Amino acid sequence: MDELFYNAVDLLKQLIATPSTSRNESGAADCVEEFLRSNGADTKRHGNNVWSISHDYDPSRPTLLLNSHIDTVKPVAGWVHDPFTPETDDESRLFGLGSNDAGGALVSLITAYLYLSNCESRSYNIIMLASCEEEVSGKNGIEAVIPMLPHVDVAIVGEPTGMQPAIAEKGLMVLDGTITGVSGHAARNEGVNAIYKAIDVIDRLRTLRLPKESPTLGAVKISVTQIESGTQHNVVPDCCKIVVDVRTTDAYTNTETLELIRKAVPECSFNPRSTRLNPSGISPQHPIVKRLEMLGAQAFGSPTLSDQALMPWQSVKLGPGQSSRSHTADEFIYLSEIREAINTYIKILEGIDLRESI
């Protein structure tokens, strides 16, 4: 275990020192590819996505996908440490951009994959995928790789969850809304002010609750986040545009959610930028979830988005670190969290029978 742990930390330090903001991850992909190959794994690559399939792959067996992402957000203002220099302090915290989101999970999953690939008692296939463009939900990330993979039955997605299983995750739709009025001179009592109409629309969206709620994710969350209107001070605006952030749940598909919003607020024309980022999850009775519960973990529903949104199979989000540290200045992960994650991944997957879930 010590050797596995130190190798994982060395890889994470390499990744921190290799800038890999979304759509610029080639150096990080090179690091992951070289690490897997140097540890005896065969690799495949598409763009900046790197994956490896266990050498004993058998299409008659169920297949588990281990996935985490190699890209990071851009460093925010306020860093005291150099975001691209891995530094450890007296509390054994490793600082660096991407250390928590999601480098710790990535190197822990890679380490578990290399260990489990050589486990003779394993009754399932295993794939390790290090994907790119997760932070921007890019189409050259996991979405481009899925058609190239063998059939997958279930996935573990490495994100900072404190090693508690997120068995459901909200999806996302961004809607561009348009409210129309009639232009006129502001000094006269003429025209129909689109901004005034928008006030009612925004208030209705603020208070709108759809009939069904998810047992794990709660209600669909609707937030108006941007507004734009008017051309000059003396013209009654005939158009008001809003942007609406909708966090969807497994109570509805994204398309169903959109239609319900349109019916509830007919005064606004809504056009989705995309409906592809769907809510996702896994059965609470799945063997992986039950095994985690036996170890004392507590399942929860996650409000944050990950590559799960693009997966057409069951998935659970599970990884070291805390979501509250993500995208912050002086991002860090405790080295003990990486050690615990490697141990937990191996413990839940060693000897598990995934045929029970098919």
The distance from CA 350 to its chain's CA centroid, rounded to whole angstroms, is 25
Please name the helix (run of DSSP H) or strand (run of DSSP E) that holds residue 304, with its range, or none: none
Residue 324 CB neighbour total at 10 angstroms = 10
| Whole-number Å distance between alpha carbons of 201 and 90 | 53
CATH T-level fold of 2-169+279-357: Aminopeptidase (3.40.630)
| Cα(216)–Cα(245) distance, integer angstroms | 20
Is the omega angle on the peptide bond into residue 102 within 30 degrees of 0, that is, cis?
yes
Per this entry, what is the length of the chain?
Answer: 358
CA dihedral of residues 145, 125, 250, 302 (deg, nearest 10): -90
pLDDT of residue 222: 97
Query: Residue 353 has what pLDDT?
Result: 86
All residue ranges of the chain with pLDDT < 70 are 357-358
Domain coordinates in residue numbering, the chain: 2-169+279-357, 171-272
Does the domain at 171-272 match CATH 3.30.565.10? Answer given as: no
CB 201 within 8 A of CB 267: yes
Predicted confidence at residue 60, as pLDDT, reads 95
Residue 88 Rama label (left phi>0; alpha psi -120 to 50; beta): beta
Q: Give the pLDDT confidence score for residue 180 in this predicted structure.
A: 97
What pLDDT, in 10s, does the model give residues 275-331?
999 999 899 999 999 999 999 999 999 988 999 999 999 999 999 999 999 999 999
The pLDDT, as a whole number, for residue 301 is 93
DSSP state of 191: S
Return the number of other C-beta atoms located less than 10 Å from residue 258's C-beta: 19
* Confidence at residue 351, expressed as pLDDT on a 0 to 100 scale: 77
